[in-house]
Amino acid sequence: MRIAVAVLASLLLIQSAFAADPTSPETSLSTDSPLLAPWTGPYGGLPAFDKVNSDHFEPALLTAMGTLLDEIDAITQTKGKATFENTIEAYENSGRQLGRVQSVYGVHLSTLSTPELRALQQRMAPKQAELRDQIIQNPELFARIEAVYNGKKFDKLDPVQQRLTWRAYNRFVRAGASLDDDAKTRLSEINQELASVYTTFGQNLMADEETWIVLTSEEELGGLSDSLVGNMAADAAAKGLEGQWIVSNTRSSVDPFLTQSTQRALREKVWRAFINRGDNGDAHDNNANITVILALRAERAQLLGYATHAHWRLEDAMAKTPENAMALLEAVWTPAVARVVEEVADQQALANSEEADITIAPWDYRFYQEKVRKARYDVDQDEIKPYMQLEKLREGMFWVAGELYNLQFALVDDVPVAHPDIRVWEVTNADDSHVGLWFFDPYARTGKRSGAWMNSYRSQERFRGNTTTIVSNNSNFVKGAEGTVVLISSDDARTLFHEFGHALHGLLSSVTYPSQSGTNVARDYVEFPSQLNEHWLLTPEVLSKFAVHVETGEAIPNELVEKIQAASKFNQGFQTVEYLSSALMDMKMHLAGSTPIDADAFERDTLTTLGMPSELVMRHRTPQFAHVFSGDGYSAGYYSYLWADTLTADAAEAFHETGSMYDDTVAQALRQYVLSVGDTVDPAEAFRAFRGRDVQIDALMRDRGFPVPE
């Protein structure tokens, strides 16, 4: 996910976060389950990963779901008028036990999935959807929330309390709390059906991503770097294929292969396997699931009184309307396509000069673009990659966080983890006060979903004691043989910094209520801090200190840094069109309303209408578009990466205007107005407080090397 924040979304409509508070009294049933007990131990309590097995999940989920319903009943049966304290705060405090169970369950589903867990997920998803609806459609609970929101004492609440109340009221209304009984019944049926199909979609995709292409001869390794060959051999050995090499069907394996391999037929084979995930006409084909999902979402939106699913989703986002989001996407589309035309022409000219006798195809783009980069800027990924050591870059992320926010990171070994590859750091302020824990799970393995993401195991809060956060970053780098250094591409390095930006958003949170903490913000705002954090990767300070050669230990030469900086806007046509085509497809599919959609045909026809260059494909084709079809999280919301990047580019220029990306005044303003406040203020107001004005698109266009609109 360039994600993407991976939120445990099965209860998102009830509460956007649950924080474990070991001191809070609960109404849970007495049990010895390690999942149901309050977290104990150092750092404010820890999830008992070392005591959990798959048999614990179903009974714990069912028990905790029952506990939550008991807590809701206690709120509705409270005597006297509804108040902020006995209704809004009581609702905020509910679901803590279920939050703890969901946290550990989510880690296992996303990183340690097994056939048994997938079967459980299929059983539980509709029940979790039913639970959401039981709470949202509880008339007594909604009446109390509405009474507080519309009550005379609302104006006497402080701004944070008012926003918490508004958010609860708005969430219930948007989820159907005001519907009549028949509509509520149908809405609940839709939500349960969607939960089931989302699970099927995700599991189909994971099944295709657990495949690989085997290489059996050294001839097939032509053009590949020693580090990539070593990783492929180690991956093969781990799967019992000694003496062979495999290309796993995940982006972290496929992209470097397509960039380096001189074997064109193999490039095509690897490319087709990757872009056809979920689209092979077999038991794991996702096209029929997309049709069902879109139809159910359209029906749900109409039940809720919205023209389309897109209008429903964007109502409380920064963009507010699909029209506003589309205007931004379309403003960037034309110059981005024009840049692709230029990039392809450069590639074709180079291929012609080499007498390759080919026409540039999608499986050639990365390979020849890298050749063009080398010819134009005298730099290529093979020259850069020996300096891109995973662990050194991790140290670089820590250093940047220290320079900007005075954070310190210390490796700890007294924290249980779900897998031996996972390591944990304690995060502290400069005065050694505890901030939180950062879990790092960097390597691909069977049962782990693809991509990269951030999780919040526990949200920061001051509502029920001073509770610190626990966050994790998860990636899918190929783990080399024992004792070897893992090298990553510059694109993967950028993703590493991106996901760490999400983690910093969680770690730097300083709010009272857990549902307002950290990354619990509007979808088109949540990517702003993460995308901004990417900007520190290519600063000379990071490159000179942490981009050191894997063999010599020498810092990356200044002349190579200058070349990297000069090439920073290179390939922006490809990167932008690859992304924009997915974002436009997402929005157009969800603006189609109740019109039945054949996913393959809609994708093909829409791309033709858009004028999609034939030399590349969408970053996420629809049958593998997990952001959009494995849950509601980014549905009609993939545009948010560009929306957030508009904020990002503008914010980065605030640093550039001072002459330093490490300016302390700007960094502290970023922390004060953006990173620490979560959802306690409207995101537009937060950005305005940081920048001193509303966002402007000019910086985005400059950042990508496109013409600035007059």
Label each residue of 223-247 as H, E or C.
CCCHHHHHHHHHHHHHCCCCCCEEE
Residue 55, burial from CB neighbour count under 10 angstroms (0-12, 13-18, 19+) = exposed
pLDDT beyond 70 at 3: no
The model's pLDDT over 56-113, given as tens digits with 9 standing for 90+, comes to: 999 999 999 999 999 999 999 999 999 999 999 999 999 999 999 999 999 999 999 9
Give 23's pLDDT tier (boundaries 50, 70, 90).
very low
Non-local CB neighbours of 653 within 8 Å, separated by 6+ positions: 699
Residues tagged active-site: 499
Residue whose structure tokens are 């990002």: 648
pLDDT beyond 80 at 301: yes
Token pair belonging to 323: 């029209």
pLDDT beyond 60 at 553: yes
Q: Which long-range contacts (CB under 8 A, 24 or more apart) does 575-580 make?
A: 576/332, 576/336, 576/339, 576/704, 577/333, 577/336, 577/337, 577/339, 577/340, 577/612, 577/613, 577/616, 578/616, 578/617, 578/618, 578/619, 579/619, 579/641, 579/642, 580/329, 580/332, 580/333, 580/336, 580/642
Answer for the pair 564, 328: CB distance below 8 angstroms, yes or no: no
What is the percentage of the chain residues whose pLDDT exceeds 70?
96
CA-nearest of 502, 489, 572, 554 to 532 is 502
The model's pLDDT over 193-202, given as tens digits with 9 standing for 90+, comes to: 999 999 999 9
Total residue length of the chain = 710
- What is the number of other CB atoms lying within 10 angstroms of the CB of residue 668? 13
Give 594's pLDDT tier (boundaries 50, 70, 90).
confident
Beta strands in 491-610, from DSSP E residues, in sequence order: none
Non-local CB neighbours of 288 within 8 Å, separated by 6+ positions: none
Query: For residue 524, what are the CA distances in angstroms to 317, 318, 575, 654?
Result: 6, 6, 19, 20
Residues 315 and 19: their CA atoms lie apart, in Å, by 27
What is the percentage of the chain residues whose pLDDT exceeds 90?
89
State the chain's mean pLDDT as an integer: 93
pTM, 2 dp: 0.88
Does domain 9-206 sit in CATH 1.10.3260.10?
no
Mean pLDDT to the nearest integer, 516-545: 95
Answer for the pair 47, 37: CB distance below 8 angstroms, yes or no: no
Token pair belonging to 278: 């979920």
pLDDT at 634: 93
The model's pLDDT over 612-664, given as tens digits with 9 standing for 90+, comes to: 999 999 999 999 999 999 999 899 999 999 999 999 999 999 999 999 999 99
Q: Which of 11-25, 138-152, 515-529 has the lowest mean pLDDT?
A: 11-25
C-alpha torsion sign, points 122, 173, 7, 302: positive
pLDDT at 30: 39
The model's pLDDT over 357-396, given as tens digits with 9 standing for 90+, comes to: 999 999 999 999 999 999 998 887 788 989 999 999 999 9
C-alpha torsion sign, points 349, 354, 359, 362: negative
Strand partners, 40: 46
DSSP of 246-259, one letter per residue?
EEESSHHHHHHHHH
Give 481's pLDDT tier (boundaries 50, 70, 90).
confident
Residues 222 and 225: their CA atoms lie apart, in Å, by 9
Residues 83 and 302: their CA atoms lie apart, in Å, by 33
Query: For residue 313, what are the CA distances in angstroms to 53, 133, 316?
Result: 36, 18, 7
pLDDT beyond 80 at 473: yes
| Three-class secondary structure of residue 20 per DSSP | coil
Give 7's pLDDT tier (boundaries 50, 70, 90).
very low
* 363: Cα separation from own chain's centroid: 26
Mean pLDDT to the nearest integer, 259-268: 97
Domain boundaries, the chain: 9-206, 211-275
pLDDT at 31: 52
